[in-house]
């Protein structure tokens, strides 16, 4: 088992990661009857994409003796209606100015990010806008 999820009422859940005990709470978004006081489930999908991209890049970077510490990722989720779903996820990655990579290294890391497991899991109807700011 990966996690246990408990519905707490009032459109809030509590998910516990079994291995670590780490907890994430979610709320329905304020535009869909919720309080919007926590990440929504669809927010977590968008966050999963950004974190997966940088994590897989960092794994690849380790093999290249490159350190990606302090890389910043901005994620925007855009919803669609009829049916209500994620229509687009925008991911902008900003790398530290001190990171000096050649074009070949950048290309390899970008290809790694663009093929991370979460990206490969998303439905093809979800538009992805990925920008790498070196």
Domain limits at 91? 40-133
Same-domain check for residues 48 and 90: yes
Same-domain check for residues 87 and 55: yes
The total domain count for the chain is: 2
Task: Report pLDDT for 27.
Answer: 97
Average pLDDT of the residues in 10-33: 96
Task: Report pLDDT for 97.
Answer: 95
Same-domain check for residues 128 and 64: yes
Same-domain check for residues 52 and 90: yes
Task: Report pLDDT for 101.
Answer: 97
Same-domain check for residues 31 and 55: no
Nearest-angstrom CA–CA distance, 50 and 71: 11
Structure tokens at 24: 């994430």
Task: Report pLDDT for 56.
Answer: 98
Task: Report pLDDT for 3.
Answer: 97
Average pLDDT of the residues in 4-21: 98
- Considering the chain, what is the average pLDDT of its residues? 97
Asked if omega into 69 is within 30° of 0 (cis), the reply is no
């Amino acid at each position: 088992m990966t996690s246990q999820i408990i519905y707490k009422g009032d459109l809030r859940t509590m998910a516990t990661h079994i291995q670590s005990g780490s907890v994430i709470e979610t709320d329905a978004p304020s535009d869909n009857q919720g309080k919007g006081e926590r990440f929504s489930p669809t927010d977590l999908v968008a966050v999963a994409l950004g974190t997966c991209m940088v994590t897989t890049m960092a794994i690849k970077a380790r093999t290249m003796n490159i350190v990606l510490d302090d890389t910043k990722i901005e994620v925007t989720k855009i919803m669609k209606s009829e049916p209500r779903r994620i229509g687009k996820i925008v991911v902008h990655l900003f790398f530290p100015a001190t990171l000096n990579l050649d074009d070949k290294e950048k290309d390899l890391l970008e290809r790694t990010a663009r093929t991370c497991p979460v990206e490969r899991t998303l439905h093809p109807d979800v538009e992805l806008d990925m920008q790498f700011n070196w």
